[in-house]
Each structure stands twice: as structure tokens, then as C-alpha cells.
Structure 1
Amino acid sequence: MDVLAVLNLGEFAQIFSKMGMFPVFDLAYYIVSILYLKYEPGSVEVSRRSPVASWLCAMLYCFGSYILADVMLGGCPIDYFQHNSHILLASAVWYLIFYCPLNLFYKCVAFLPVKLVLVALKEVVRTRKIAAGVHHAHHAYHHGFFIMIIMGYVKGSGVALMSNFEQLLRGIWRPDTNEILNMSFPTKASLYGAILFTLQEAQWLPVAKSTLILAFTLFMATSKVVMTARHSHGSPFALIESWVCYVLFGSALAGSEEDHHHPPAVPATPVKTKEELGEGARRRKVKKAE
């Protein structure tokens, strides 16, 4: 018996989990992904200077998770490009966002109420990708629980993990933006979601897969809509993560390392006032005259 069966969500969760993503949800995913690409510095200039490089960056933003997952599982990195309908739809979105006259399409999808709806729809696709990645890895490595987590994590945040490679296509190299070093909320949520779906796949979590998909989708969509509406880059996990890091890793670790690596402070040179400087100059003149 499922934990959430008392809420009578089983039938609705089943319908929701079997709902097709193409074309409505996938279209929203492509729009939001390429919209974020246009926010990146230099992306508009690249689209004018080299449309091919701009198109490749857009495809990485839309299909980077599939490409990275195929590479890690030993498949062909361009295997997903056989889905012509998805490629054409994403290419149409890329063209309209970057080259539509008067930026009309960009202004429409960047309008906050419209953007909030698109962001919520995108999180539906993200959750499905996490669940699909864990399920795929479960068939390939039946007892490889860490591989299931990795594949779900990659499927959910592969675009962010490939951001440094995408930057090279735009002629930018910013290693300090490595997603592993500076994990954003979607990346962290994808990791936590991959752990949950792995536990469910291993039958260690007494929740039906359809119910877990529905619950995690509601959490992701609500969190992202609130964060987008408030223009926030924080994380709902910040309080829990700070407490866990304090308990497991200690708060003195960072401070001790800073004290170890930083050189000792050099005592500051006292600054002389104008009266002292004037008095010194007068004394030098008297001494010189003598």
C-alpha cells in the first residue's frame, strides 16, 4: 500500500505520468532554454557573427542532457538528432528568439506572466527526464544504484553540466562558472530527485512511481515559478544544506583553511596628516639652509 494512497491521487498520478510531452511541454522547454541562452553575455553578438555557432549552442541548451547521457552510456552523442520533429521545433524556437523582427517573439515569451507558465511546463519535462534516466540506467545496470543516480542527475541537469563546453562555442572561457563548483537550484534538485527515483526504482521507497513523479513535479514547478517571479537565485535547500554541512563537515573547516592559506596581515603604515607633512617640509628647508 502506498503512503499517499489515502489522498486518492493514484488515478490522477497515473494519467499525469502517462501524459505525452510533445509538443506542448517540449515546446515550453525549448523556449525557456533558448531564452536563458539569450541572457548569456555575448550570445546575441555570436548569433549575428556566426549563426551556425549560435544554433549549436541552442541545440546544446535543448538536448545537452541527452548528448551527455549517451556519451556516458557508451552511445552515439548525436543519436538524439534522429528525432527530426524535435530538432525542427527547437530550431524554429531558436530562430524566432534571435531573429524575429522587432524581437516580438522574445518580448512575448519574456513577458513575466507568460514566462512563469513556460517555466512551470519546463519543470514537468525535467522531472520526466530524471525518472527516465534512472529507469534507463536500471535496465542497463540493475544493481548499479550509483549509476542510476548519476544518469538521473545528468538527464535533469546535463545542460548546466555542459555549460563550459557551450561557452567555448561562443568564444568564452569561464572555468569559475563550473556547475559542479557552483551548483544552481535545478542542478541540486536534479541530484536529489535522482536519489529519490533511484530509491523508488530499488523498491526502498514505498511510493508509486507515478505518485513520485507528480509530487516532485509539483515541488519543482512551484519552486521555480516562485523564484522566477521574485527574480531570486537562491535555493529552498539552503537552510537544510547549511545545517547538514555544519553537522557533517564542521563550520571551522573553511575558516582554518583560510587562515592556513592566507599570508599574515602586514601592519598598515601610519598616514601622516597635512600638518605633519608641512612641518617635515619646513624642517628640511631649515636644515638645508644651515
Structure 2
Amino acid sequence: MDVRVSFAELSKTYDELPMFPVFDIAHYILMILQLRNDAGVGAEALAESNALACWLCGMLSCFGGKIVANFLLGQPVIAAFNSTKHIITATIVWYLMFYSPWDVCYRIISTKLGKLLVYPIKEFSRAKKVASGVAQAAVVYPQGFAVMIIIGAVKGTGSLFIRNVERLLRGVWTPTSNEIMSPSATFKISVTCAFLLTVERMGYIPFPPEQIMFGLTMFIVPYKVSVILLKIGDPYVHVERALRPMLFKKRKRTDGEGQSGKKEATKDQKKKNNDKDSKKKAE
């Protein structure tokens, strides 16, 4: 009983935690880090030759979830940038990650220790981002089960979906590299989270949303730490390998079935020919 009470209290405390500034700053740091890693050797050249394009790419990465969610719901895309304090904070993070002396900020965050400090903070807020997406979709489509899941997942992994647009600003075109063609474990986790929160909103799960979010967070954070320390892979792979052959593999005909089919087709053809001959004789 005490465990249930303590879990409920922790869930409530987690739900009431403000996102700004700690969790949002961790999010901005990792988004800019991913931008630099994705740009590779061209990141420094982009920052020096075209700071505006570099800044736009950074803002798209930082606010990708809001941008894509608003676009899909038919809401103003520019509303993703309506908070001055968030824009200023993200810009400061972007500047330090690209232009700090001797590139010290990027080098520190790129280390394993730096990632261990920032990633858990970032992942601690992912479930709350997904929940905000589900709630945003529910306002527009109260009965839109699929819409809530889609917007929730997008809100939790928006930077992954807007990456192709961000690459276009850098002059890179990779249409076959996207989250739909090769979904990441982060996206699958966000979909799972969005599904559970949507089912709860529909009244099919007898647990409050903050407990679902906190329970999922207790899985997401250790998983991300394990990825950094142990380099474990996608936890969904084994389930997919088991289900894919049963659900999505097309059954092929065996040689015996093919031969029997040919024999039946031959019999039908002979029958048709005999019918034609009999009609001719009758005429």
C-alpha cells in the first residue's frame, strides 16, 4: 500500500515539474548536438559561411515537434516560435555549441560523461511532450484515436521528422533517409507512449495519465543510459521479428499447389473445348 501511495505521489510530482528551464535546455543541447553530428565535417563550414542558415537549422531541430504537430493539425506553424524566452534560450545554446572558444561546449557534450549528464534529463521530459501532443490533438479531434497517437508521437520525436527539411536548408537531399522508412527506437517508444495515453484518455485504462507517463519515464531513462554505456540495440527488434512473418509475410504457393492449379486449369480448358465442339455438332 505504501508503495502505491509513494508511486502516486512521485507521479504527481513528476507531472507538476516545469519544463523550463532545465528540461528544455537539455532538449536544446541534444538537438544542436544531433544537428552537428548529422552535418558532420560540413558543420563548421556552414556555421562560418552562413550563420543564418545554421541558426534556422538549429531552431527547426529544437522546435521540430511543435512545427510538425501544428502543420498536421492545420494550426499556425509559426506559433511554434511564439515564446521569446524559449527562442533566446535555444539561440544561446546554439551559439555555444557552434561558436564557443576552442569548441569546448561541443567537445564536452560529445563525451560519454557529457551525454550521461544531459540525456537522462532530456528523456525525463519525453513522456510529457508526448502527453502534450495527445492533449493538443484531443482539442481538435476529440474522437480521433489515430490522430492523437500520431500527434503525440510527432510531438515526442519532432526533430526526427523535420530533419529532411533541415537538411534541405544545408543543401543536402536524402529522401530515402527518414523516420518512416527506418523508424528509430525513440520513435517506437513515443508511439507506445502516445498509444497508452490515448487509450487512457478514451477511458480504457484505469490509471491516471501522470502515472502512465511516470511509469514510461522509468523505462525510457534507463534504456537511454544503457544505450550510452552498453550500446544496446532497439528493444522492439525481437517482437518485430516474431510478429512480422505471422502478420506481414505473403504466403507463397508450393510446387504441389502450383501443379494442382495447372491441372485444374487444363481440365477447365478441355471442358470448354468439348462444350464448343458439341455446340458446333448440334448446329
2:147 match: secondary structure: helix
User: 5 Å matches for 1:104-123?
Assistant: 104-123=104-123
Structure 2 residue aligned with 1:277: none
The 8 Å contact of residues 193 and 213 in structure 2, kept in 1 or not, is answered as: no
Q: Structure 2 regions of 5+ residues with no counterpart?
A: 253-283
Q: Residue 45 in 1 paired to residue 40 in 2?
A: no
The 8 Å contact of residues 66 and 80 in structure 1, kept in 2 or not, is answered as: yes
The 8 Å contact of residues 199 and 205 in structure 2, kept in 1 or not, is answered as: yes
User: Of 9, 12, 19, which residue of structure 2 is paired with 1:11?
Assistant: 9
The aligned amino acid for 2:80 is Y
1:152 match: secondary structure: helix
TM-score by length of 2: 0.84
What percent of counterpart residues are identical? 35
1:242 match: secondary structure: helix
Q: CA deviation at 1:111?
A: 2.5
Measure, in 1, the Cα distance between the counterparts of 2:212 and 2:189: 14
The aligned amino acid for 1:26 is D
The aligned amino acid for 1:98 is F
TM-score by length of 1: 0.82
Change (3 A) 1:122 1:251: farther
Write out per-residue CA displacement over residues 12-56 of structure 1, whole angstroms, 9 at most, x where no aligned residue.
Answer: 110111110100111111101111111113222211211111111
The aligned amino acid for 1:181 is M
Q: CA deviation at 1:101?
A: 0.8
Structure 2 residue aligned with 1:134: 134
Measure, in 1, the Cα distance between the counterparts of 2:93 and 2:81: 16
2:125 match: secondary structure: helix
Structure 1 residue aligned with 2:256: none
Change (3 A) 1:72 1:5: farther
User: 5 Å matches for 1:179-198?
Assistant: 179-198=179-198
Q: Residue 100 in 1 paired to residue 100 in 2?
A: yes
Change (3 A) 1:52 1:248: same
Q: Structure 1 regions of 5+ residues with no counterpart?
A: 254-290
Q: Residue 170 in 1 paired to residue 170 in 2?
A: yes
Measure, in 2, the Cα distance between the counterparts of 1:214 and 1:225: 17
Measure, in 2, the Cα distance between the counterparts of 1:207 and 1:239: 28
Measure, in 2, the Cα distance between the counterparts of 1:181 and 1:200: 29
Write out per-residue CA displacement over residues 91-148 of structure 1, whole angstroms, 9 at most, x where no aligned residue.
Answer: 1011001110111111222231221121111112221110111112112211111111
Measure, in 2, the Cα distance between the counterparts of 1:160 and 1:218: 23
1:177 match: secondary structure: coil
The aligned amino acid for 1:57 is C
Q: CA deviation at 1:252?
A: 6.6
1:176 match: secondary structure: coil
Measure, in 1, the Cα distance between the counterparts of 2:96 and 2:180: 32
The aligned amino acid for 1:120 is P
Measure, in 1, the Cα distance between the counterparts of 2:227 and 2:116: 10
Measure, in 2, the Cα distance between the counterparts of 1:88 and 1:35: 18
Measure, in 2, the Cα distance between the counterparts of 1:91 and 1:81: 12
The aligned amino acid for 1:224 is K
Q: CA deviation at 1:230?
A: 3.1
Structure 2 residue aligned with 1:55: 55
Structure 2 residue aligned with 1:33: 31
Give the length in aligned residue pairs.
Answer: 250
